[in-house]
C-alpha cells in the first residue's frame, strides 16, 4: 500500500471526523435540552414546557418590579387620564420591551395603570386594553384579578404559584395583572427563539437518541482508522517524523496548547452583537481547535509507532542523564581508585612522618624523591607508547615494545600496541602477497595462452595464403583470425592492466609537451573518425603546455581514450577536446555524445571488463578505461569520468612541469 493511498485515507478521516463530532454534539445538546424541559412529550405544546414557563414567570416578575417597585420616569412614553374602578386614574405607556410579551398592570391603591401597548384609539382605556390583550394573546395568557388566576399555561395556575415570592407581592399590593404572548410572534426575541428550539428538539428527539450511539461508534472507528494510517514509513521501514515529533513531549504539548488557546481566543468574539463576526470568529476558532487536536493525535501516534513516546519525555531524559552520569562516574572511580588510594596513603605518610621532627623531614624528602621518580618513570613509559602509536599512524608497522619494561595498565597497553602493529604488518604482507600472486598468475596464464595462440594465428595466416575454393572455409578462417586477434589483444591488455594496477611498471618520467602529443594522437585517429563522421574540435588556451610523465604510457592513456571515442561516440557528431591551465595544474577534458543510452554509473564504467554497450557488440576487452586510470595515477595524475545524460566526459589532471 503506497504512502499516497495512506495519506488519502487519513485526509478523508480528518474531513469526516469533525462532521461526526458536530452531529454528536448537536444530538447530545438536543437530548439534554429535552430532559431539561422535563422530557418533552410528543403532544406537549410550547406553552407547557418548563423553559417557557420559567421565561414567562420571569417576565411577569421583572415587569412588576420595574413598574411598581423600581419605576423610572425615563420609561414613560405617554400618559393619559382614565377611569379606574369608578375613580379618576391614569394610564402610563412605557417604552416597549420584550415585544412579544404584552402586559397591563393596575395599581388599585394609587389608581395608576401601566402597559407596554402602543397608545392608539383601541388602547386608550382600561377596557380596550383588556380586550386587545384578550384577542391578541388568546393562545398564551396569564391574568390575575381579585385573588384569582386565569391562564392556559398549565404550570402557572394558582395552585402552582401561590407560594412564590413575586405572586405574594402582587397579592399584597392589591395589584391586577393582565399579560399574554402575541398570537403571531413578530420578532426573534427570547420567546420566539425558545419556541423554535422547542419544536426542533421535539421533532429531532428520536433521531438524536439514535444518532448519539451511532455517531460515537463512527467517531471511534474513524479515529482508529486514521491512527492506523498516521506515521508513514520510509524505504527502511522507519516512521517519518517531522520537526514537532522530534521535540521533547513537554515542548510539543506546550506548542499544541498555545495553538488551542489561540482558537479559544477567537471564540471570545462570539460575545459580539454582530452575527457575522460571531460566525466568522467562531468558525476560525473551531478550525484552530480542531487542528490542535489533530496535531496532538498525530504526534502521539507517531511517537508510539516510532517507540519514542517515553524516550522523549523530560522525566525519561532526566533519568537517562542521571543513569549515564552515574555510570560514567562509577566507571571513572573504578579507573582512578588506585590513584586516589595512593594519594591518600601519600598524604597519611606525610602526616605521620611530620611527627618525628628532623628525621621525619628527611624521610618526607626521601618519600617525595621516590614518588617523583615513579611518576617520571610512568610518564616516560606513557610517551614511549604514544610515540609507538604515532609511528603506526604514520604507516610504520615495524614497531615493537618490550612488554617487560612496563607494569600494570601500561603493560597491558603495550601488549595492545604490539598486537595492532603485528596485525597491520600481517595484513599488509598478506595483501602484497595476494597482489603479487595475482600478477604472477595473470602473467603466467597470459604467457601460457600466448604460445598456442601465436601458433593458431600463424597457421591461420598460412591457410589464408593457400588457394582455397570453398567459400565456407574462407569464411570460417576469417572468423578464427578475428577471434584469435581479439584474444591476443585481450591477453596483452590483461597483463598490462595487472601491471598497472599493482604498480609493477618501470616509469621513465620526463618533461613532455602535452599539446603536441594530443595533436599527434588526433592525427593517428583521423581516418577512423572520418569513417564514422566524427569532427574533432581542439581548444588549447595556452601553447607549449608541459607535464612530467612517461611518454610511452601517457600516449597509451590518450590512445585508449580516443579508441573508446571511436567505438562508442555517436556517428556524425563532434568530439571536443579542451586543454586548460588552472593554477599549477593542466586539465584536459574530452567530450562526446554517446551512441547508446548510458544506463550505467561512472563507478561501474571504471570497473574492469565493463563496456558502454550492453549488447557487447563492439570490439575490445573492456579494460581500456581501467588501464588508463591506473597508468594516470602511476604518473601522478587524476583520471575522472563524468556522465550527464548522453554526454560522456573524460577528465585528465596533471601537475604542470
DSSP codes joined into one string, 499-539? HHHHT-----EEEEEHHHHHHHHHHHTHHHHHHTT-EEEEE
End-to-end, the C-alpha distance of the chain in Å comes to 62
Pick the more confident residue, 16 or 85.
16
For residues 523 and 644, membership in a common domain is answered with: yes
Residue that finishes a domain, picked among 366, 390, 414: 390
Residue 576 has pLDDT above 90, yes or no: yes
Cβ(14)–Cβ(226) below 8 Å: yes
For residues 143 and 106, membership in a common domain is answered with: yes
Q: Which of 640, 633, 629 is nearest to 655 (CA)?
A: 633
Report the C-alpha gap between 213 and 27 in whole angstroms: 10
In degrees and rounded to multiples of 5, residue 643 shows phi and psi of: -120, 120
For residues 651 and 516, membership in a common domain is answered with: yes
pLDDT at 38: 60
Nine cell digits for residue 66: 420595574
Residue 312 has pLDDT above 80, yes or no: yes
Residue 585 lies in a domain: yes
**What one-character DSSP code corresponds to residue 69?**
I
Cβ(626)–Cβ(607) below 8 Å: yes
**Helical (H) or strand (E) element with 345:** helix 314-353
Residue 359 lies in a domain: yes
- How does residue 241 score in pLDDT terms, banded at 50, 70 and 90? confident
Nine cell digits for residue 272: 459580539
Residue 57 lies in a domain: yes
Task: For Cα atoms 225, 226, 231, give the angle at the middle one, nearest 5 degrees.
Answer: 120
Pick the more confident residue, 620 or 591.
591
Cβ(245)–Cβ(296) below 8 Å: no
3-state SS class at 597: coil
Q: Which of 208, 180, 177 is nearest to 47 (CA)?
A: 180
Report the C-alpha gap between 405 and 403 in whole angstroms: 5
> How many Cβ atoms sit within 10 Å of the Cβ of residue 538?
13
For residues 586 and 498, membership in a common domain is answered with: no
β pairing state of 112-115 and 87-94:
parallel
Count of helix runs (H) and strand runs (E) in the chain = 17, 14
List, for residues 253-283, the tens digit of each pLDDT value.
999 999 988 888 887 766 555 667 777 888 8
Alpha carbon separation from 319 to 314, 322, 330 (Å, rounded): 8, 5, 16
Nine cell digits for residue 576: 571536443
Q: Which of 154, 201, 177 is nearest to 32 (CA)?
A: 201
Residue that finishes a domain, picked among 479, 504, 529: 504
Residue that finishes a domain, picked among 390, 415, 432: 390
H helix intervals, 37-104: 50-64
Report the C-alpha gap between 346 and 340 in whole angstroms: 10
3-state SS class at 650: strand
List, for residues 555-575, the tens digit of each pLDDT value.
888 888 888 888 888 999 999
In degrees and rounded to multiples of 5, residue 178 shows phi and psi of: -120, 130
For residues 549 and 586, membership in a common domain is answered with: yes
Residue 204 lies in a domain: no
For residues 516 and 637, membership in a common domain is answered with: yes
Residue 306 lies in a domain: no
Which whole number is the average pLDDT over 68-93? 66
The whole model's pTM is what?
A: 0.42
Cell numbers 399579560: residue: 179
**Helical (H) or strand (E) element with 72:** none
> How many Cβ atoms sit within 10 Å of the Cβ of residue 655?
14
**What one-character DSSP code corresponds to residue 239?**
B
Pick the more confident residue, 212 or 339.
212
For residues 512 and 649, membership in a common domain is answered with: yes
- Tell how far CA 541 is from the center of its chain: 50
Cross-strand pairs, 511: 548
Q: Which of 640, 614, 610 is nearest to 624 (CA)?
A: 610
Cβ(635)–Cβ(554) below 8 Å: yes
Give residue 493's domain range: 397-504
Q: Which of 637, 613, 487 is nearest to 548 (CA)?
A: 637
CATH number of the domain at 406, please: 1.10.287
How many structural domains is the chain composed of?
Answer: 4
**Helical (H) or strand (E) element with 548:** strand 546-550
Residue 246 lies in a domain: no
Average pLDDT, the chain: 80
pLDDT at 72: 53
- How does residue 592 score in pLDDT terms, banded at 50, 70 and 90? very high
> How many Cβ atoms sit within 10 Å of the Cβ of residue 516?
13
For residues 145 and 72, membership in a common domain is answered with: yes
Cell numbers 603546455: residue: 545
Q: Which of 135, 131, 108, 104 is nearest to 117 (CA)?
A: 104
Cβ(59)–Cβ(101) below 8 Å: yes
Residue 594 lies in a domain: yes
Residue 489 has pLDDT above 70, yes or no: no
For residues 91 and 66, membership in a common domain is answered with: yes
Specify burial of residue 299 (Cβ count, 10 A radius: 0-12, 13-18, 19+): buried
- How does residue 5 score in pLDDT terms, banded at 50, 70 and 90? confident
Task: For Cα atoms 330, 332, 334, give the angle at the middle one, nearest 5 degrees.
Answer: 65
* Secondary structure in 3-state letters for 167-203: HHHHHHCCEEEEEEECCCCCCCCHHHHHHHHHHHHHH
Q: Which of 657, 347, 624 is nearest to 494 (CA)?
A: 624
Identify the sign of the CA torsion 528, 530, 534, 537.
Answer: positive
List, for residues 25-79, the tens digit of each pLDDT value.
888 888 887 777 665 655 567 787 777 888 888 888 888 887 777 655 555 555 6
For residues 422 and 559, membership in a common domain is answered with: no
Q: Which of 349, 378, 377, 376 is nearest to 365 (CA)?
A: 349
Identify the sign of the CA torsion 550, 556, 561, 566.
Answer: positive
Pick the more confident residue, 513 or 80.
513
Residue 250 lies in a domain: no
For residues 143 and 123, membership in a common domain is answered with: yes
Specify burial of residue 316 (Cβ count, 10 A radius: 0-12, 13-18, 19+): middle
Cβ(312)–Cβ(249) below 8 Å: yes
Which whole number is the average pLDDT over 529-534? 90
For residues 386 and 421, membership in a common domain is answered with: no
Pick the more confident residue, 611 or 511.
511
pLDDT at 178: 92
**Angle in degrees, 0-180, between the axes of helices 408-465 and 471-502, rounded to the nearest 10:** 160
3-state SS class at 76: strand
Amino acid at each position: 500500500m503506497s504512502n499516497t493511498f495512506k495519506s488519502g485515507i487519513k485526509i478523508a478521516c480528518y474531513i469526516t471526523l469533525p462532521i461526526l463530532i458536530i452531529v454528536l454534539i448537536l444530538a447530545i445538546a438536543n437530548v439534554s435540552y429535552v430532559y431539561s424541559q422535563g422530557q418533552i412529550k410528543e403532544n406537549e405544546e410550547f406553552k407547557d414546557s418548563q423553559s417557557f414557563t420559567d421565561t414567562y414567570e420571569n417576565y411577569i416578575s421583572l415587569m412588576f418590579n420595574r413598574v411598581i417597585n423600581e419605576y423610572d420616569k425615563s420609561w414613560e412614553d405617554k400618559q393619559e387620564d382614565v377611569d379606574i374602578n369608578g375613580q379618576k386614574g391614569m394610564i402610563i405607556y412605557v417604552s416597549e420591551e420584550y415585544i412579544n410579551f404584552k402586559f397591563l398592570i393596575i395599581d388599585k391603591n394609587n389608581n395608576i395603570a401601566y402597559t407596554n401597548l402602543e397608545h392608539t384609539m383601541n388602547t386608550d382605556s382600561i377596557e380596550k386594553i383588556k380586550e386587545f390583550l384578550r384577542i391578541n394573546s388568546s393562545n398564551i395568557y396569564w391574568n390575575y384579578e381579585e385573588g384569582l388566576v386565569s391562564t392556559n399555561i398549565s404550570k402557572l395556575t394558582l395552585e402552582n404559584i401561590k407560594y412564590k415570592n413575586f405572586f405574594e407581592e402582587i397579592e399584597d399590593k392589591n395589584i391586577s395583572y393582565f399579560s399574554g404572548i402575541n398570537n403571531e410572534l413578530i420578532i426573534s426575541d427570547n420567546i420566539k427563539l425558545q419556541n423554535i428550539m422547542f419544536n426542533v428538539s421535539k421533532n429531532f428527539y428520536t433521531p438524536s437518541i439514535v444518532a448519539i450511539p451511532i455517531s460515537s461508534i463512527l467517531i471511534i472507528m474513524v479515529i482508529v482508522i486514521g491512527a492506523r494510517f498516521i506515521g508513514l514509513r520510509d524505504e527502511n521501514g522507519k516512521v517519518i517524523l517531522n520537526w514537532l515529533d522530534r521535540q521533547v513531549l513537554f515542548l510539543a504539548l506546550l506548542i499544541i496548547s498555545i495553538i488551542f488557546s489561540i482558537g479559544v481566543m477567537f471564540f471570545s468574539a462570539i460575545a459580539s452583537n454582530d452575527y457575522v463576526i460571531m460566525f466568522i470568529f467562531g468558525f476560525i476558532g473551531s478550525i484552530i481547535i480542531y487542528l490542535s487536536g489533530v496535531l496532538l493525535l498525530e504526534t502521539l501516534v507517531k511517537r508510539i509507532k516510532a517507540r519514542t513516546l517515553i524516550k522523549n519525555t523530560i522525566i525519561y531524559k532526566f533519568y537517562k542523564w542521571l543513569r549515564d552520569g552515574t555510570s560514567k562516574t562509577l566507571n571513572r572511580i573504578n579507573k582512578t581508585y588506585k590513584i586516589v588510594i595512593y594519594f591518600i596513603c601519600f598524604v597519611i605518610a606525610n602526616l605521620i612522618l611530620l611527627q618525628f621532627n628532623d628525621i621525619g623531614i628527611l624521610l618526607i624528602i626521601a618519600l617525595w624523591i621516590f614518588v617523583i621518580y615513579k611518576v617520571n618513570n610512568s610518564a616516560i613509559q606513557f610517551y614511549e607508547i604514544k610515540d609507538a602509536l604515532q609511528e603506526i599512524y604514520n604507516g610504520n608497522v615495524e614497531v615493537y615494545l618490550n612488554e617487560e619494561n612496563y607494569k600494570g595498565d601500561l603493560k597491558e597497553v603495550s601488549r595492545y600496541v604490539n598486537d595492532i602493529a603485528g596485525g597491520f604488518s600481517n595484513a599488509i604482507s598478506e595483501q602484497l602477497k595476494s597482489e603479487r600472486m595475482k600478477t604472477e598468475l595473470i602473467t603466467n596464464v597470459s604467457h601460457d595462452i600466448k604460445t598456442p595462440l601465436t601458433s593458431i594465428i600463424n597457421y591461420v595466416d598460412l591457410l589464408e595464403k593457400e588457394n582455397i575454393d570453398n567459400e565456407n572455409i574462407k569464411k570460417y578462417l576469417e572468423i578464427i583470425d578475428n577471434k584469435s586477434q581479439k584474444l591476443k589483444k585481450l591477453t596483452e591488455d590483461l597483463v598490462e592492466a595487472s601491471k598497472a594496477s599493482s604498480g609493477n611498471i618501470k616509469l621513465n618520467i620526463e618533461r613532455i609537451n602535452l599539446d603536441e602529443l594530443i595533436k599527434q594522437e588526433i592525427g593517428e585517429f583521423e581516418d577512423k573518425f572520418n569513417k564514422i563522421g566524427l569532427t574533432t574540435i581542439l581548444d588549447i588556451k595556452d601553447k607549449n603546455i608541459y607535464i612530467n610523465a612517461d611518454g610511452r604510457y601517457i600516449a597509451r592513456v590518450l590512445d585508449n581514450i580516443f579508441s573508446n571515442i571511436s567505438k562508442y561516440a555517436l556517428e556524425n557528431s563532434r568530439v571536443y577536446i579542451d586543454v586548460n591551465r588552472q593554477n599549477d595544474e593542466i586539465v584536459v577534458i574530452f567530450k562526446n555524445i554517446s551512441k547508446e543510452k548510458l544506463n550505467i554509473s561512472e563507478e561501474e564504467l571504471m570497473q574492469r571488463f565493463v563496456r558502454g554497450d550492453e549488447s557487447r557488440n563492439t570490439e575490445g576487452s573492456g579494460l581500456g578505461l581501467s588501464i588508463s586510470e591506473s597508468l594516470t595515477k602511476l604518473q601522478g595524475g587524476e583520471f575522472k569520468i563524468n556522465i550527464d545524460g548522453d554526454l560522456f566526459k573524460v577528465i585528465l589532471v596533471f601537475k604542470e612541469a
